[in-house]
């Protein structure tokens, strides 16, 4: 037998996580900046405004990159936004990406 490591480094397992960001996050180009940051990190998923004044979506990609975007969603956001908190849920390992790119949903 003989194990042999997998081709992907440990931090490179793919994960999927849902998020919702609370605060002043609508009407401040939050979705556009989130899309830009996700693309810069090579992540896929989506972002949309909700009817109750938050922004929500899903991120998929390598664990380390997803964590970077989570930090960005918690602390930075778009220049005019004021984030009170970000909540993450349904984090799970995935075999393959379920989205082709990172989209802004209406």
In degrees, to the nearest 5, what angle opens at C-alpha 16 toward C-alphas 35 and 77? 30
pLDDT of residue 19: 98
Alpha-helical runs (H) found in the chain:
30-41, 63-75
- Active-site pick, 31, 40, 74, 90: 31
Distance CA 80, CA 72 (A): 14
Residue 34 falls inside a structural domain: yes
- Residue 5 belongs to some domain of the structure: no
Tell me whether residue 8 is in a domain: no
Q: What is the CATH number of the domain that holds 19?
A: 3.30.70.100
Q: Which domain holds residue 67?
A: 14-104
Active-site pick, 40, 49, 74, 90? 49
DSSP secondary-structure letter at 15? E
Residue 11 has pLDDT above 60, yes or no: no
Structure pTM?
0.88
Residue 50 has pLDDT above 60, yes or no: yes
- Catalytic-residue membership of 49: yes
Establish whether 65 is a catalytic residue. no
Q: How many domains does the chain have?
A: 1
Neighbours of 67 (CB within 10 A): 17
For residue 21, CA distances in Å to 7, 24, 42, 47, 63 come to 34, 9, 21, 10, 20
């Amino acid at each position: 037998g003989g194990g042999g490591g997998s081709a992907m480094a440990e931090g490179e397992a793919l994960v999927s996580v849902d998020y919702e960001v609370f605060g002043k996050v609508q009407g401040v180009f939050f979705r556009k900046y989130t899309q830009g940051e996700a693309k810069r990190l090579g992540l896929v998923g989506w972002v949309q405004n909700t009817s109750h004044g938050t922004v929500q979506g899903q991120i998929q990609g390598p664990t380390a990159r997803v964590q970077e975007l989570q930090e960005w969603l918690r602390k930075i956001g778009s220049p005019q936004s004021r984030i009170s908190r970000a909540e993450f849920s349904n984090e799970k390992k995935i075999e393959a990406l379920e989205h082709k790119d990172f989209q802004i949903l209406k």
